[in-house]
């Protein structure tokens, strides 16, 4: 089974026959013990430190359909190396563009993304309300905001509604989480531990959505809720809205409330907070475990992983764009 690998430290990646060799390099240029990775076992790489590699190596990665995702010091996603697209469909591409250009069709899809995100946020809040947290006010507020989704006539209004839902949701993180305080959402850079985890987790979720899109015939640059940009795969942002409450937020609540992550796992400086390497390892381990968790899928009648749920979402979107079946976004039922 192929796996995702995470490079938390700077190093050099090279090819040795049909094996990949990663050699960690410290800030003084001293090499550490190399690690050998059989190429047939590698799904993708996540790089949080400087990676030294040449064009020959990337050619080899491309031929083996291995992606590389890059993050900066503050764990912000900065870009990806993606293999050449091998799943191409001209008809789907044309339909994707048509749906974007048609105002009513675009807003319809955008509403569906926000409905799903709002529903999944509410499921999180109700989960913790059932465990004794006083969250009735935020649940009622978010339900009220959600009633305006269908009334939104343009993307800007819809994004405003989504912003209000997120703002009210984040206000309750201090109620749900013990031992840490959030004090509002902050990013670029995040100002405290909870914000650092949200930024880190959201970028991980974004990369997973991009990976799933790349495994289908969808074009990741054509989106409906977020405006397409020249330097980002905005369709992954659309899909990430659906899965962040499930994959990121619930993991943050669990890691902090169980004290698996502690204050000394963060590097706190003036106006910034980032995870230390030990903290990144803990979060990445939890994130991978969550992706591999399975649930009994209602429609398929079999167990599927959270990782595969994202790809199923892409397939549902393809069917919608091709006129096969109306898109019904993923909504948590547990």
DSSP per residue, 17-45: TTEEEEEEB-TTS-B---EEEEGGGEEEE
User: What are the start-end ranges of the E strands in 164-290?
Assistant: 266-269, 272-275
The pLDDT of residue 74 is: 72
The pLDDT of residue 333 is: 86
Same domain, residue pair 128 and 67: no
User: What are the start-end ranges of the E strands in 125-271?
Assistant: 266-269
Same domain, residue pair 66 and 156: no
CATH number at residue 58: 3.100.10.20
Same domain, residue pair 64 and 206: no
Same domain, residue pair 114 and 199: yes
Which helix H or strand E contains 159, and what residues bound it?
helix 155-171
Q: Which residue has the tokens 């899809």?
A: 109
In this structure, what token pair is assigned to residue 186?
């902050």
Domain presence at residue 182: yes
Coil, helix or strand at residue 303:
strand
**DSSP symbol at 47:** E
pLDDT digits (tens), the chain, 334 positions: 788 999 988 999 999 888 999 999 987 888 999 999 999 999 999 998 889 999 999 999 999 989 999 988 777 788 889 887 656 678 999 999 999 999 999 999 999 999 999 999 999 999 999 999 999 999 999 999 999 999 999 999 999 999 999 999 999 999 999 989 998 899 888 999 999 999 999 999 999 999 999 889 999 999 999 988 755 789 999 999 999 999 999 999 999 999 999 999 999 987 889 999 999 999 999 999 999 999 988 888 889 999 999 999 999 999 999 999 999 999 998 7
Spatial neighbors of 15 by CB under 8 A, at least 6 apart, are: 21, 56, 57, 60
Same domain, residue pair 12 and 156: no
Which of 71, 103, 120 lies at the terminal end of a domain, its last residue?
71
Residue 133: domain span? 90-321
The pLDDT of residue 299 is: 81
**DSSP symbol at 84:** P
User: In angstroms, what CA-CA distances link 12 with 7, 57, 80, 260?
Assistant: 10, 11, 17, 31
The pLDDT of residue 85 is: 63
Q: How many domains does the chain have?
A: 2
The pLDDT of residue 203 is: 93
The pLDDT of residue 87 is: 62
Same domain, residue pair 245 and 164: yes
Spatial neighbors of 174 by CB under 8 A, at least 6 apart, are: 181, 182, 183
Its pTM stands at: 0.90
Q: Which residue has the tokens 């089974």?
A: 1
The pLDDT of residue 281 is: 95
The pLDDT of residue 230 is: 56
CATH number at residue 240: 1.20.120.920
d(CA 143, CA 119): 9
Which of 42, 71, 100 lies at the terminal end of a domain, its last residue?
71
Q: Which residue has the tokens 């990665």?
A: 61
């Amino acid at each position: 089974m192929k796996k995702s690998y995470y490079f938390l430290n700077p190093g050099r990646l090279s090819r040795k026959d049909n094996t990949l060799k990663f050699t960690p390099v410290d800030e003084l240029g001293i090499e550490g013990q190399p690690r050998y990775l059989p190429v047939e076992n590698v799904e993708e790489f996540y790089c949080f430190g400087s990676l030294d590699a040449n064009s020959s190596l990337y050619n080899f990665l491309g031929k083996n359909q291995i992606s590389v995702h890059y993050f900066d010091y503050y764990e912000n996603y900065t870009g990806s190396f993606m293999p050449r697209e091998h799943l191409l469909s001209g008809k789907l591409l044309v339909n994707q563009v048509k749906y974007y250009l048609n105002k009513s069709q675009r807003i319809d899809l955008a509403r569906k993304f926000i409905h799903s995100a709002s529903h999944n946020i509410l499921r999180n809040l109700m989960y913790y309300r059932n465990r004794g947290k006083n969250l009735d006010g935020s649940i009622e507020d978010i339900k009220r905001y959600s009633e305006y989704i269908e009334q939104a006539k343009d993307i800007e209004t819809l994004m405003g509604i989504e912003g209000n839902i997120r703002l009210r949701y984040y206000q309750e993180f201090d109620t749900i989480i013990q031992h840490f305080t959030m004090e509002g959402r902050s990013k670029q850079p995040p100002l405290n531990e909870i914000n650092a985890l949200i930024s880190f987790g959201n970028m991980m979720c974004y990369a997973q959505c991009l990976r799933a899109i790349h495994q289908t015939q969808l074009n990741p640059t054509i989106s409906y809720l977020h405006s397409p940009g020249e330097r980002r795969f905005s369709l992954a942002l659309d899909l990430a809205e659906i899965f962040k409450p499930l994959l990121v937020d619930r993991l943050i609540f669990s890691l902090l409330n169980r004290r698996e992550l502690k204050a000394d796992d963060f590097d706190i400086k003036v106006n910034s907070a980032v995870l230390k390497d030990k903290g990144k390892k803990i979060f990445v381990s939890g994130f991978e475990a969550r992706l591999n968790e399975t649930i009994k899928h209602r429609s398929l009648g079999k167990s599927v992983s959270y990782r595969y749920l994202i790809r199923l979402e892409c397939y549902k979107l393809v069917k919608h764009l091709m006129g096969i079946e109306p898109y019904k976004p993923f909504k948590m039922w547990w």
